[in-house]
Each structure stands twice: as C-alpha cells, then as structure tokens.
Amino acid sequence: MSETNDRIVRPTTSVLTWANRWDHILARWAINRMGHRVEPGLYALGNPTQDSPVFVTANYTLSFDALRSALGGMNAYILVLDTQAINVWCAAGKGTFGTDELAQRIEATGLRDRVSHRVVIAPQLGAPGIAAHEIKKRTSFKVEYGPVRAADLSEYLTRREATPEMRRVRFTLRDRLAVIPVEIVGGLIPLLIGAAVAYLFGGWVSSLAVVAAILAGVVVFPILLPWLPTHDFSAKGFLLGALVALPLVVSSWQGNADAVGWLRAGKAIVPLLIFPPITAFLALNFTGSTTFTSRSGVQREIFTYVPVMAWMFAIGIALMIGLPIIRMIGG
Amino acid sequence: MFNAYQTTTLQFNPTECNGCGMCYTVCPHAVFNRNGRTITVAHAENCMECGACQLNCPTNAITVDSGVGCAAAMMYAAVTGKREPVCG
Ligand code: SF4
Ligand code: SF4
C-alpha cells in the first residue's frame, strides 16, 4: 500500500444495513472465515473535527460494526487495525491487535495531523495486546481503555471513565449462545464420522447415541455451563455425558433380561464408559471459547482428565467388542 | 477437588508498583483492588492469565504466564511436540 493510500480517510456511518446483518450471520457460523474483513486505516464517522475522539478497533466486520453502530449520532474517527479479520480479543491474544500495529497505524494514517488532541480510545479487551505506555513513548498518543462492551460506550463517553461493572467480562447466556454455531460447525465432521462408525458397529441406536453425545458437548454444554455442578469443564462434561448415556443403560439392562448377570451388567455399563468421555472431551475444548479459563488451569485439566477419558473410552470399546466374543466362546 | 483453576501464575511485586492503576483498569476479571495509589491482588483465583496487566504495567511489577486457555491448541502442541500455537 502506498503512503498516499494509507492517509485516505474513508467515510462510514453508524447504520447497519441488511447486508451487514447477513454478513454477521455468516461470520457467526464461521462461513467464509477470512471474508469478514474491513480495509484497515482511518474512517470518518459523521463529520469529525480536530477535537473529535478517535476509537481503535479490529478489521473484523463484527468488531467494526459493533463499534460504529454504538456511536450513533456522533462525529468521530475510527482507526481500524489490521488483525487479519480476527476480533479484538483473539487478535490481542495473538498480538496482531498490538503495540507495533497501533503505533505504525497512527503514523501511517497521519492521525496527528487530523486531530489536535493526543488520545486514542481502545477497547479494554485489546489490552492484552497493547502496552499503553509504549504507545505513548513511540507516538505521544495516550491510550485510554474504553469499556468491555461497545454498548456501554455512550455512558463511558459522558463520564469519561468506566465503572467497575463496565470493566468486567461476563459470559452470559447470550454470549454462550453466540458461540454455539461455531462449535456446531467445528463438531460436524467428527459427528458424521462418529455416527457412521457407530452405525456399522451397533446400528441406529448407537449412531443416534453418538450424535446425542456430541450435541450434548457442543450445544447443551455451553447453554448449561454455569448450572452444571463442579468447577472443571471436563467434570461437568462427564456428568452431562452420563445423563445422556443413562437411557441407553436402562434400555440395555431391560433388553438383556435373559442374559447371565455379568453379561447383562457388562453390556449395560458400556454406554457409560463410551459416551461420557466424548462429551467431556468436547466440554474441555469449550474452554477455548470462554473468556475466563486460565492457561495453567486448562493445562491442569488436560493432565487430570484426558487420561481418564482415554481409558474409559478404550475399556468401553473393548467391552463392546469383547463381550459378545466371550459369550460365543464361553457360552 | 474438581477445580483446576484455584492457582494462578500471576505474581505482583508491590515494591515495584508506582500506583498508576493501569492493571486495575485493564483487568477484565476484577483481580486487583485499588485504594488510592495502593494496589492489592484481591481475587487471584479469577485471573485468566490474559496478560493485559503485565503488558500495561510501566514498572514491570507484574508477571503472569499468559496465553490463551485453549485446550485444543495445547493438546495439539503436546501431541506434535511443537511450540504451543495460538487459537483461532
Ligand atoms: S492476567 Fe488478565 S485476568 Fe489476570 S490479573 Fe492480569 S489482567 Fe487480570
Ligand atoms: S500497572 Fe504496575 S505500576 Fe501501575 S498500579 Fe499496576 S502494578 Fe502498579
């Protein structure tokens, strides 16, 4: 990009069109993942003057649109960083929503010639990528961190301070529902493979059970997260998976009423060994979509639970295959 | 039992702190408490190790082993022996 191109100020509005909303739906379903991109650079919302505030965001349509639509009726500049169409929070973790990019973008766009003040307002969730004191040193611009949610921006702007409430990340039912489509898309291929394999071994009932165990992990688990007992995601997943497996246990127990005791019990216990680890594994993976699990904590979860998942699953499969063979041989 | 999140790698050294309050401002989980220019760690167990406080502390009074708490990435790294990739 040439220097003159960098200094272009593009006009934008706070109005979301139907095309924007359609784009958001596709983005939430992880369709065309890299296509939800905004051209990085400086944007003018309304008719900004040299006293107008400057807001920083990522070049992901959901981030950019959330910001501009929250600034309805305002005159402001929006500085869009190149995060490769990744949202602010994830890009800050990667470092693309970062100190170097912000400093370089401030210079390249000629922001200091557009505004007389020296303040940029960055989203608080961008803080893991941006060292405010470094930006000050390099560009003389002061970074002020706005609220976590764009919806709180207007209140923030009137007080010029975020309340402790505005500074806290929540992971509400709405937030959790918003990530389910991505979880479903991510779980689709394992679901199809699992269902097909289960069909070959155990017919429709097993196939449906696999689908139920996976859907429990990617749909029911995120919804019920705060209400499932225990703290660890894996433990919550085991419990949920056991609930899903319970009908199978009961039907197997009743269906094999004529079998000898050990065989009847063995068959009944198989679903309890196979399905909870599947749901628990998916639940453990959901830590990556939340906004509160720490890295060292997830690591401890992996060490504690993944071996249990693997053993239960392996023993379950071995019993499923082995029990009929033992019966054939031993009678 | 069943809580892997009781400890954190967050470490705060009050003698280095100048009381600017940046850590208090950027933390999304209200881990720090602020009383004038005195900062304390009030809820270490809420820390998600995002690293915002460390990066924005001008005096290096905070260290935290930051990174995304992404199980898939960590397991992938463990299996392949690669350096831990980031999510997304
Ligand atoms: S690492 Fe993040 S969550 Fe932990 S104390 Fe620092 S800012 Fe807060
Ligand atoms: S950011 Fe650093 S210097 Fe500032 S209050 Fe926090 S610990 Fe102290």
pLDDT tens per residue across span A7-49:
889 999 898 999 899 888 888 888 877 788 999 999 999 999 9
Residue nearest to atom 8 of ligand 1 (CA): B27
Establish whether this prediction's ipTM goes over 0.90: no
DSSP class of B36: T
CB contact under 8 A, A231 and B78: no
Q: Which ligand is nearest to the CA of A124?
A: 1
pLDDT single digits (tens) A111-156: 999 999 999 999 999 999 999 999 999 999 999 999 999 889 989 9
Q: What angle do CA B86, A172, B8 make, to 5 degrees?
A: 50
CB B25 within 8 A of CB A144: no
Nearest CB to B50 within list A128, A164, A235 = A128
C-alpha of A25 from chain center: 15
Instruction: For residue A73, count other CB atoms closer than 10 A to its CB.
Output: 8
CA distance A280 to B17: 42
Global pTM value: 0.87
Q: A287 CB near a chain B CB, below 8 Å?
A: yes
CA A167 / ligand 2 centre spacing (Å): 17
Backbone angles phi, psi at A307, to 5 degrees: -60, -40
Residue B23 · residue B53 · CB < 8 Å: yes
- CB-based contact A201:A320 (threshold 8 Å): yes
Cα(A176)–Cα(A90) distance, integer angstroms:
16
Q: Which tokens go with A138?
A: 């390099």
Please, what's the largest Cα pairwise distance for chain A?
A: 90
Q: Quick one: pLDDT at residue A1? A: 46
For residue A117, the CA-to-ligand 1 centroid distance in Å is 30
Residues 6+ away with beta carbon under 8 Å from B53: B10, B22, B23, B26, B27, B31, B32, B62, B64
Q: Does B79 touch chain A (CB under 8 A)?
A: no
Using an 8 Å Cβ cutoff, are A119 and A142 in contact?
Answer: yes
Residues of chain A with pLDDT under 50: 1-3
| pLDDT reading at B84 higher than 80 | no
The CA-atom distances, in angstroms, between B56 and each of A149, B37, B59 are 20, 16, 9
